Each structure stands twice: as structure tokens, then as C-alpha cells.
Structure 1
Amino acid sequence: MLYGLIKRVQRLAQAYMRLRRLGFGSEGEVLVRSALEHSATAQYAYLTPDGVQRLNATLLAKQREWAITIAESSSVPKMREWADSLDEPVGPGLPPFSGDGIIGTLDTVKFLKTTYKVLSQVGHVSHEAWTDTFEDVDGKLHIRDQPEPSWEHEIVYSLAGFCMLSAWVLARLEGDDAEIDRLHHFGNELHLPWRLDLHLPREKRRFPDDEI
């Protein structure tokens, strides 16, 4: 399960960088937000005591909900049989992602919360749909077809951070000490965190004796 989340972060990062090179960096911000969600969720699932079980329950519940929605819009009886055959989730699922949920638990400096809010502006109907389309030239509004890049450096830096978070989880799962050391060095050089649990009380950490 965790590998699926990690692999998606990798491909989302690759897709964003390709879109950015083609001049679609603004539209690609929705991919960066998705990378944030997947990397932070992977960290929460891996680093909290019952996180993997809660992730499993959430994924099963979402799969069953998706299947039921498909079955209800289909005239094929077997679709409903298929939806009903899926396992019911056992135990609690993950907390909500935003607010006081996953990022509220992991984020000590409001970086994740702020970045999530900024990246959500393109994915949802917001003021950016207007401000990206018009520009002020000598006091007159002019229509522009392509948004001016804004916060590009910060967005790429954030994406690098999300890749770091997921890459560290993968290295831990594989027991790759050399890769872990490389990520620590890289994170220290660029001031990127590789794990988000060290501030939590011991009882809320899966690995309470870890120090780095």
C-alpha cells in the first residue's frame, strides 16, 4: 500500500516538471497538491502506531464506495454483485487530511497547511481563475492567455520536500541505510525534512526511540 503512494508521488513530480517546461506550471499545481497529500499520508501511515491499518481501512472503504457508485449508475446486475462482494473495512480509517487531521498532526510550522491552501487555488474555483486571466497595463485591464508564473521557486522547492518525505519512507521500508544517509545529507543541505513525527509524544509514534 505504501509503495503505491510513494510511486504516485514520483510520477506526479515527473508530470509537473514536464508541464512546467511546456509552460503549464500553473495548471500543474494540482499535481503538486496531490503529491503533498500522498507523501504526507505515507508518512502518517508509516510513522504512527496503527497508521498502516488505518490506511488499509480507508482504502477499502473508498474502493467500496467507488464500486457502489459505479454499480448504482449501471444497468448491469453483476456490477452490484461485484460491489457487494468487496470486503467491508475493519477498524477506524485515517483522520481527515486537512484541518487538524493528518497535516494538523504532522505539521509543526504550518508549512503543510499553508502550501495545501496555496496549491488548492487552481484545483478549486477560486480568485486565481480571474487573476490569472487579466493583467494591469498602465491602469487598464488586458486579457492574457497564459498566466504569469508565480511562486514557481517555492512550488518546486515544496515538491522536492514531498519527494524527500516519500523517498525516506521507501528507503526505510527497504532497509537501505546508504540511501537513508544520502537523504539525510541531501535534506540537511537543502533544509528539507525527511520525517514528520519527531515532535509527537512517544505514545503517538510507531518508532519512539528514533532520534533522526
Structure 2
Amino acid sequence: MNQRRPNDDALVEWIRYVEEALRRPEFTIRPEFATDFEVLYGVILQSARYGIAFLRLREAGLHREGEALARAAMEHAITAHWVFFTEGGRDRFAVQINTDFRRYYKVMAEWLEDATLRQEVEEVSEYSGKGMPTFTQILSDFGGSFLRTAYKSLSLSVHPTHHTVLRYLEHTDAGVEVRIEARDANSFPALYLTAISSMLALSLVEFMIDPSRAEELLDEASERLRLPMFIHSELPEAKRRAI
């Protein structure tokens, strides 16, 4: 893979390209992946849409705030790959979706004191089985310290951490000064991680369309922009879905 740092403008163009490519009205999916596509398309497209939202904040000079969206794009894309390529992953995701749905509407029914809504929720079948692992565990399943480190780095600007405190203060000989812009803002890591998420989003859709051609279709962009197409080879073999 090309070892040169990819150009910022090229990464921006790629993120926009992916979001547009995923908004096509029709997809011809391999029959064996039809259910996977129905379950994961929303997650995949949401990752790409977070990428577009990230670009808009970046263009507005809100680099640090955009890191929250870069993190969301990353979480959605990587989760989609885990669900698809992990043995039993789709079933675990279905259990989690069902559990989240029932929990949310039960809370809403109680808050609204709505007996009809409560009854409707009770009539929804409850899926048995294990739900999703934590996202930290998902990252561990993919093995690489790079993903875990990148996610932790983006999380520093999402939560009220030491990073938040220190980025808006400047220590000088005269004392402590406050800053209205975050100190040492560097938007490239977030841009690069968002572009990786875009590649993962598109590669998974292309795989469900034609596994034999997915890598061929994306190879040029992957090489030029240093964006990995797939990460499932890092999954332990015992956990990997046979495809």
C-alpha cells in the first residue's frame, strides 16, 4: 500500500463520493446476503451520512466538534463489518435491536401513561439469545491496536475529559488565559478516520453485491488513499463467518 500521507482534498472527495454512491435507489444484492443488507443498510448509510456531516462542521471551522461525528461514522461502519463477518453476528444484532426497541417504547408508554402503546409493545415478539458485545469488545475482536487507539483519541473530544479542559486554556507568564478556539487543532486524523469509515461502508455493500469483485472495484482508491477495504481478516478464525 502507498506509504505517502493521502491528500486532504482527495479524502474529502472520497467521503462525498461514498455517500452519493450509497444513496442509489436500487441495489442488486446476492440472494444469500439479502437479509444482511436489509438489516445493515441503514447502519452503513448512516456511517456515510455522518461523514458528510463531519465535512460540514470541518468546513465551518468546527474541527473538534466534528470529531464526535467522525467517531460515530467509525462506530457504525465497524459495527456493520462485525455483524456481517462474525458467525452469528446478524442474529446477535437482531436481538439487540429487538431489546432496544422494546425497552424504548416501554419507557415511553410509562412516561406518557399510554395503555394502548404499552399493549402494542407487549405484543411485539421478544427475541431470545445474546445481544451485541460492547464496541470496545468489537474493536478487540478485530485485533488491531490502531482502531482502539483511534477510537479512544476521538472519544477525548466527545466526553468532558482532560482534553476538553486543556484545549481551551493557555498557560503564560502572566497567568492562565482562556481560548475561544481549541488549542493545537489538527483535523487530519479525524478526516482520515472518517474516510476509512466511508471505505468500510462502501466495501461492505459492494461485497454483498458481488464478493468476487468488491476488492477489484475499490483497489485503486484503497491504494491511493491508504484506506483499508476490509478488516475481517483480523477476526479470530473461530469467530469468523464462513462465506
* TM-score (norm: length of structure 1): 0.87
Q: Distance in 1 between matches of 2:218 and 2:173?
A: 48
Tell me the CA shift for residue 52 of structure 1.
1.2
Q: 1:13-69 CA deviation, whole Å, 9 max, x = no partner?
A: 000100111011211211111111111110001111211111111111111111112
Instruction: Kindly indicate whether residue 154 of structure 2 is the aligned counterpart of residue 119 of structure 1.
Output: yes
Q: Distance in 2 between matches of 1:128 and 1:165?
A: 28
Tell me the CA shift for residue 118 of structure 1.
1.2
Is the 1:107–1:196 contact (alpha carbons within 8 Å) kept by the matching residues of 2? Answer: no
Larger relative contact order (C-alpha < 8 A, sep ≥ 6)? 2
Q: Distance in 1 between matches of 2:217 and 2:184?
A: 32
| 1:23 alignment partner AA | G
Look up the SS of the partner of 2:64 in the other structure. Answer: coil
Pick which of 88-97 and 133-142 moved more. Answer: 133-142
Which residue is equivalent to 2:115?
A: 77
Tell me the CA shift for residue 178 of structure 1.
5.5
Give the structure with the larger helix fraction: 2
- 2:143 corresponds to which of 107, 114, 121: 107
Tell me the CA shift for residue 122 of structure 1.
2.1
Look up the SS of the partner of 1:123 in the other structure. Answer: coil
Within 5 Å, which residues of 2 pair with 1:1-212?
Answer: 1-98=39-136, 101-108=137-144, 110-138=145-173, 140-148=175-183, 150-175=185-210, 180-207=215-242
Is the 1:26–1:149 contact (alpha carbons within 8 Å) kept by the matching residues of 2? Answer: no
Distance verdict in 2 for CA 1:123–1:82, change over 3 Å: farther
Pick which of 122-131 and 24-33 moved more. Answer: 122-131
Percent sequence identity is 28
Q: Distance in 1 between matches of 2:184 and 2:101?
A: 37
User: Size of the alignment, in residue pairs?
Assistant: 205
Q: 1:124-177 CA deviation, whole Å, 9 max, x = no partner?
A: 121133223222345532212222453311111111111111111011112276
> Gaps spanning 5+ residues in structure 1: where?
none
> Gaps spanning 5+ residues in structure 2: where?
1-38
Tell me the CA shift for residue 207 of structure 1.
3.7
Q: Distance in 2 between matches of 1:182 and 1:73?
A: 50
Tell me the CA shift for residue 191 of structure 1.
2.6
Tell me the CA shift for residue 185 of structure 1.
2.4
| 1:123 alignment partner AA | V
Aligned Cα RMSD in Å? 2.0
Tell me the CA shift for residue 79 of structure 1.
2.4
Q: Distance in 1 between matches of 2:204 and 2:143?
A: 17
Q: Distance in 2 between matches of 1:205 and 1:188?
A: 25
Is the 2:215–2:229 contact (alpha carbons within 8 Å) kept by the matching residues of 1? Answer: no
